[in-house]
Each structure stands twice: as structure tokens, then as C-alpha cells.
Amino acid sequence: MYTAFDFRLPQCILFGAGRFSEAATHVARFGGRALLVTGGQSLERTGRLAALEDQLRAAGVAWRRIVVRGEPTVSVVDQGAAEARRFQPDCVLSVGGGSVLDAGKAIAALLTNPGETLDYLEGVGRGRTLDQPALPHIAVPTTAGTGSEATLNAVITDDQHAFKKSMRADGMLPTVALVDPDLLEGCPAETAAACGMDAVTQLIEAYVARNASPFTDAFALQGLYHASRLADYLHDTTQPAARSSMALASLIGGICLANAGLCVVHSLASPLGAFFDAPHGVICAALLPPSVQLNVERAQAEGNRELLDKYCMAYDLLLAPDSAHAAAPMTRGGIVEALDSLNEPARGAQALALRLGELRQELNLPGLAHYGVTTADFGRIIDAAGTANLHNNPVELDRAALTRLLELAL
């Protein structure tokens, strides 16, 4: 049974190899001045920044560049917005990973709404609402993970990393999501693996979330099908088909996040990312397998066949594909033996949890202990966990269950 739902998308989604060459044309639709938000070095190193600047000149667009290194902080966003106000751009063009796109979304929102970042941050801000739509924003991802080009929030940390919270409003959705899979080529393997697991986590969580709808279910299933190419993509990022699949999986994951929300993994990932110097995708990879395990156990106890069936479908689409470098089928002595005592559909649902754990190990993504997380930290992590995502989890997990989840993720 689905609850009432809304469905939100960027005004325009442009997808396809080579479409980065169209960026300046779309910028020029909004006027002759653009705020360019990028990361530190990768665009310059690959020559794409120079090519983009040539495009902007040819289109008669003046620009001011703001560089975002690492995750956006309150001060980075406020300083970027102050510089942008002096420049008075007609639009924002963000090119980079999820952090760059989030910074671009936050700055674009502050350019049309009064005040500063702390006025609007959920849970720690001053409770103001972003009443005006953000400045037109063209978001161009260069990684496949967050789907930030299709979400209506921006994740911001404070400068002392005491919190990691969102600015959120319908008006923050990028105006144009321009997704060019060719921009994924050359992404470092560890970054690609972490981002890929972020996409997988978002797709699975949105699929089983309480706020899922028929639309998000349909999108999530398509996204999981494309995410099955993650191993292929990591094996060889020069494969156009695998790049395209992962770019689609990330984009679809962002669409699902914006409309169905996420669950317990992201409830805990937020404080973990604030308190420890750990990449978001690696945190997701550590938390996802035990979260599925605990959700399945609760679903079995409650007779929640719908949730078990969804996890079975996710397993079939994501982890049993016809792919040269995908996971090997379950064999006697492996996952099958571990599941002999279970009946269908619990068997298939638990297979997903076990296989996700194996996938994390195959991708060489460490557990939480690698980043200094200990059992002594569990209390403050759980205390700081976001309630919205926790309430959106398909089954209720109490404090004891959250503690067990963290233990399994170490």
C-alpha cells in the first residue's frame, strides 16, 4: 500500500556521452554571466576546464570561478555566496563530484534568499525556510554516486565537523542536470568504488523506504539493473557501456532519494561523516549489508512479505547479472550453505545482505574501525542520527538494533 506522494525532477535532464560540450550553450540561455563552481584539480588536469572556458567565451558568457576542495562547509558556502553576490551571475554552473554540486546548489539558493547558510540548515540552523527558488543551476556530475544533480538538498558540514546537515527545498532542484558518462573516465579506483556503493545504497534504501511510490519503485528497479555494471566499470573505466550504466544508476538514485527519501544507513552515515574522516560512500558500504540483515530479520518476525520480496528483487537485479566481472553465482559452501535453514523469500532477502558484504570486501572498502570508530562512539553516533531517515526505514529499529548495526559495520 503506497501513501500519498509527490514526484519531483529537474526541469531538464540531458544525458549522453559527449554532452559536456553543450554546457555553455545551456548557460547562455539564462544570460551572459555565470558562477562556475568546480573542484580543485581534476578538471584542470584533464584539460576539461580549458575546454569549458573556451566554450563559455565562444558563447559570450563571462564567468567567475569558485573552487570547492573537499566537502562544503558553512564558511565555504557563505564565502562563495558573498563573492557571487558581488559578481551578480545569471546562473550557476557546477561541474564536479557530489560535494561540488551540493555547494553549487546551496550558493544558488542563497543568491535568491536572504541570510546565510546557518539560517537554513536542518536541525542546527535558525529555522528559516527557503521561500524563493534558487538561481538557475546547471549541475554536471563527474562522479557516479550521489546523484546530486537530481536532488533538492545540499549536505553541508560546519568548519569543526561537529555536524553534517542539509539545506533542503523544492526550489533547490537543479534546473538542468547534464550527465555525460565520459566525464567518469579517469576517476580514481577507490573514489569510483566508494561512489558506486553510495549509488547502490541510495537505490536500495529508496526502493524499500516507507515513502516509496510506484514511480520511485520503477525508477529504483531500473537503477539497480544499471548498477549491476559496477564491477565492470571498476575493472575498466574506459568501457563506454559500463560508464553509461553507472552514470544512469547515480542519476536515478538521486531521483529516488529526492522523492522517496532514504533509511537507516543514511541516518547513521550523517553523524559518522561529521565525527570521522571517512568517505561517505565507504560509510554506506560498511552500513548497508548489516542494515539489510537487520531489516530482513525484523521483516521475518513481522511477516512482512512485501519487504522480503523487494529485497529478493534487488538481489536478482543487482547481484546476479550476466556480467563478465560480476559476482559469481552462489555455490555450495558459500552463501547457499549459510541460507539452508531459511525458507523463501527470506532466503533471497538474506542472500542480498550476505552478498553485499562480500562485494564490499571485493572492492577493498574497509569497515568503520579503519577510521577510528569504536564501541565507545556508538552512543553519540546514535544520539546524532537523523530521525527523518530512521522513521522512513521500512521496519522500526530501536536503539539496541542500531547498536548491533554499528557493531556489524566495524
Backbone angles phi, psi at 140, to 5 degrees: -125, 105
pLDDT confidence tier of residue 162, bands split at 50, 70 and 90: confident
Note whether residue 1 is domain-resident.
Answer: no
Q: How many other CB atoms are found less than 10 A from the CB of residue 304?
A: 17
Whether 45 and 82 share a structural domain:
yes
Whether 286 and 375 share a structural domain:
yes
Whether 241 and 361 share a structural domain:
yes
CATH number, residue 36: 3.40.50.1970
pLDDT at 337 over 60: no
Mean pLDDT of 130-158: 96
User: Which residues share a beta bridge with 241?
Assistant: none
Tell me: the pLDDT tens digits for 32-71?
A: 999 999 998 889 888 999 999 999 999 999 999 999 998 9
Residue with more model confidence, 346 or 195: 195
Mean pLDDT of 183-191: 91
Predicted confidence at residue 369, as pLDDT, reads 97
pLDDT at 313 over 80: yes
Tell me: the pLDDT tens digits for 166-178?
A: 999 999 999 999 9
Mean pLDDT of 243-268: 97
pLDDT at 326 over 60: no
pLDDT at 328 over 60: no
Where a domain ends, among 163, 183, 203?
183
> In which order are the strands placed within the sheet that holds 91-96?
12-15, 176-179, 137-141, 91-96, 33-38, 62-67
pLDDT confidence tier of residue 160, bands split at 50, 70 and 90: confident
Domain that holds residue 76: 12-183
Q: How many other CB atoms are found less than 10 A from the CB of residue 236?
A: 10
Lookup result for grid cell 554540486: 101
pLDDT at 280 over 90: yes
pLDDT confidence tier of residue 161, bands split at 50, 70 and 90: low
CA atoms of 381 and 214, how far apart (whole Å): 33
Predicted confidence at residue 343, as pLDDT, reads 52
pLDDT confidence tier of residue 320, bands split at 50, 70 and 90: low
Helical ranges in 111-184 per DSSP H: none
Predicted confidence at residue 206, as pLDDT, reads 98
Whether 205 and 316 share a structural domain:
yes
Predicted confidence at residue 319, as pLDDT, reads 77
CATH number, residue 400: 1.20.1090.10
Q: What percent of the chain is modeled with pLDDT above 90?
A: 80
What lies within 8 Å, CB to CB, of 342 at 6+ separation is 350
Tell me: the pLDDT tens digits for 97-122?
A: 999 999 999 999 999 999 999 999 99
Note whether residue 6 is domain-resident.
Answer: no
Tell me: the pLDDT tens digits for 224-237?
A: 999 999 988 988 88
Whether 234 and 346 share a structural domain:
yes
